Amino acid sequence: MEKAIASGVDANLFRPTPDGKSAQIKLIPHGDMYICPCFNPETSECTIYSIRPLDCQIYPFALMYNQEQTQVVLGVDMICPYGEAEIQAAAFQHYIDYIADYLESDPVVETVAASWQLIGPYQDTVVIVRTLEKLTSARMKNRY
């Protein structure tokens, strides 16, 4: 958040997470959906691309809980036309492996463990493609 504000993003566009350890950007209406205020839909460009947050770095993937809130999972957002069109392609399957390995790496697990709010809630428009075992294990150890 600090980097985004330093680059000119309005601080009022962020809301603190319930744990107070980070912040989430407030999405804005755009047609029949909501988009990040740092995304320009006319150019398909992000105004903070070089400092974008984790969830933007991995999109159309989503780091989230399963519906029962018992596992941390990797999903593909079917609202994204690319994700919907490519989810069955072999190259996309390799990309799933790559993103899952990245999210299960020790540095990312440590980053997420420092702010569990980085894991989003279950979304019914997201197809779960992988259970993230290391993140699930770490989260369940620190649940209460």
Strand partners, 24: 15
Q: What is the distance between the alpha carbons of residues 89 and 117, in angstroms, rounded to a whole number?
A: 31
The mean pLDDT value for 35-57 works out to 90
The mean pLDDT value for 109-128 works out to 92
pLDDT number for residue 144 = 47
pTM, full prediction: 0.84
Residue 33 has pLDDT above 50, yes or no: yes
The mean pLDDT value for 93-116 works out to 95
Look up residue 66 and give its DSSP letter.
-
